[in-house]
Amino acid sequence: MKEKQLVTSVSLPDAEAALWRAQRAEIMLFSERYLRIKMRNQVRRAVTRKYNRVEREFEIVTTRFAPTEYDTLHFVAAALRVSVSLLIYGLIQLWKKPSRRAIRRFFSINYSADSEGWDTSAGFLEEIITFWAVEDPGDAPPVLLT
């Protein structure tokens, strides 16, 4: 059974919007590498969100994500206080580099969330992204003992 896709939109410069429409599936194969690069940066707090600020025309592109892709992108975007559109733009920029596309994937990613409590008194939510080295990107994630 095919996983349900979430329909949303991202704002991209015209040229990147065309690439995203044509190559979205291939570009998303580089998300593990790109998110690991972005996660070298510090978590940002007490700052406003950063958005795409390229001096070109932008398009709103309707796109589909698997729920885990969507949640993972939003988790990193929230931690870094950037828009998901900015993450996608950076991912496209990484994908456009031929030297980056020549390197095969060595990591897989797993996103999980657990709502410990959410009501009018308090909110406790734990989100975790785990990366693991793989020989074959199609390998199942390792069993993590907790």
In a domain, 120, yes or no: no
Rounded to the nearest angstrom, the gap between the alpha carbon of residue 20 and the centroid of all alpha carbons in its chain is 14
Q: 68-73 contacts: CB < 8 A, separation 24 or more? A: 68/111, 69/28, 69/31, 70/6, 70/8, 71/111, 71/113, 71/127, 72/31, 72/35, 72/109, 72/111, 72/129, 73/31
Query: Is 119 a member of any domain?
Result: no
DSSP 15: H
Condensed to tens digits (0 to 9), the pLDDT of residues 89-130 reads 999 999 998 877 666 667 778 888 887 888 888 888 888 888
How far apart CA 28 and CA 84 sit, in angstroms, is: 13
Structure tokens at 136: 């074959």
The parent domain of residue 66 ranges over 6-104
> What is the model's pLDDT at position 91?
94
Pairwise CA distance, residues 110 & 131, whole Å: 7
Within a domain: residue 81? yes
Position 49 in a domain = yes
Q: Indicate whether 131 belongs to any domain.
A: no
**For residue range 17-62, what is the model confidence (pLDDT) as tens digits?**
999 999 999 899 888 888 988 988 888 766 666 666 677 788 999 9
**Does residue 135 form part of some domain?**
no
Neighbours of 35 (CB within 10 A): 21
- Cα 105 from Cα 38, distance rounded (Å): 16
**Total structural domains within the chain:** 1
- pLDDT tens digits, one per residue of 77-87: 999 999 999 99
pLDDT in the model for residue 138? 61
Residue 114 belongs to a domain: no
